[in-house]
Structure 1
C-alpha cells in the first residue's frame, strides 16, 4: 500500500491501465494503492455510492476476465487469485473521475487529477494516430490502380528529356557503285 503523500509517476499510473471489454480501465486494488487507501475501503465507498457508478463507469470482472487478466502476469496456479479475495472492480475513465467524489483525501484528489490527465493524453495520442492512419489509407486508395498511368507519365517525361533525333541528311560525296 502507498501511504506516502507523494503522487506516483505517470509511468506507474500508465502501467496500471488495462484493456478489458475493449475499454481502458483501472482495477480497484491499483487505484486503492495509488490513493493510499485499502482496497476494501475503496470498495466500501463505491458500494455506499453505487448510484454514482453506472455500468459504463464501473463493472466487476467476470471469472473469465479475471483468468485472462491474471494470465498476463504469468501466474500458472489456478487457485492463486494474486491476493484477490473478491472479483475486482474495473473503473473506466469516467469511473475514475467519479471516485474523486467519494474519496476526499488530499492525496486521492491529487492522484485522481493526474490519472484523468493521463487518460486524456492517451485519448489524444490515439486520435492523432488514428488521423494519420486514415490519411495514409486515403492516399493509398487514391494511388492504388494508377501504377500504369504513372508509368506512362514517366515514359513521356523521359521522352521530353531525351527527344528522338530526326534522321539527318547525309553530307558528303555519294559514291556510286560501278558495275
Structure 2
C-alpha cells in the first residue's frame, strides 16, 4: 500500500496524530467490530495515551470533512461512482451514534501485536513508517520556518541600515545642492564696481 494513502488517513485530533478504528480495520483487512473487540479483550495493552474515543462533536466534525472530501472527488471527476478514499465501507455502515476510537502511533503499534496476523504486522510497519515520515517532515517544516524568521530579522536589520544610508545620501545631496545653489547665486550675482 502506498505510504501516501496511509498518511492521508492520519488525522490530528486533540493535538495528537491518530488513525481512526475504521481506517485501521480497512488497512488490516478486518472488520471494524473485530478490531474493536480485540482491543477490548486486551484493554490493559491500550492505556489512554494509546487510544481514546472521539467525542460526538469531534466525530461530527470528522464526518463533515469526509463528506466534503467525497463530494469534491465526485464533482471533480464528474463520476457518481467515485468517492473519497477516506469514506470507507466500514465507515458508511457504522452506527452514527457510536463514535470511533482514535489510535495514537503507540496504539497502532500495539494493535498489530493484538491482531497477530501477518498482514497486520506488515501494515503496522508501514503505518509506523508513515508516522515517522510525518515527524521528519514536521521537523523540516519547523526548521524552514525558523530560517524564514531569521531571514526576516536580518532583513529588518538591513532595512534599518539601508534607511540610514539613504538618509545620509539624501543629506549629502541636499548639502551639495544647497552649496551649488549658493555658488551659482554668487557667480550669477549682479556685479558692482569696475567692469572689464
- TM above 0.5, yes or no, is yes
Q: Alignment partner of 1:55: what SS?
A: coil
Q: CA deviation at 1:152?
A: 3.7
2:85 alignment partner in structure 1: none
Q: Distance in 2 between matches of 1:137 and 1:177?
A: 71
Deviation per CA, 1:26-76, whole angstroms, max 9, x where unpaired? 11111011101111111011111111111111100111011011111237x
Confirm or deny that 1:30 pairs with 2:23: yes
Number of equivalent positions: 157
* Match 2:118 to one of 103, 106, 112: 106
Can you give the 5+ residue segments of structure 1 that lack an aligned partner in the other structure?
A: 1-7, 76-80, 158-163, 165-175
**Aligned counterpart, 1:52:** 45
Higher RCO (CA < 8 A, seq sep 6+): 2
The secondary structure found in structure 2 opposite 1:100 is helix
Q: Secondary structure at the residue paired with 1:24?
A: strand
Instruction: Provide the C-alpha distance between the structure 2 equivalents of 1:125 and 1:53, rounded to a whole number of angstroms.
Output: 27
Q: Distance in 2 between matches of 1:84 and 1:71?
A: 15
Deviates more, 1:117-126 or 1:17-26: 17-26
Correspondence for 1:90: 102
Q: TM-score, normalised by structure 2?
A: 0.69
Q: CA RMSD in A?
A: 3.1
Gaps of at least 5 residues in structure 2 are 69-90, 170-175, 177-193
1:26-175 to structure 2, matched below 5 A, reads 26-74=19-67, 82-85=92-95, 86-144=98-156, 146-153=158-165
TM-superposition CA deviations, 1:119-167 (whole Å, max 9, x none): 101100110110111122133234425523223447889xxxxxx9xxx
How does the TM-score come out when normalised to structure 1? 0.75
What secondary structure does 1:91 align onto? strand
> For the residues of structure 2 that align with 1:27 and 1:148, how far apart are their CA atoms?
51
Distance 2:9 2:164 in 1: 55
- In the TM superposition, residue 9 of structure 1 has moved relative to its aligned partner by 1.7
Write out the 4+ residue segments of structure 1 that deviate beyond 6 Å after TM superposition: 154-157
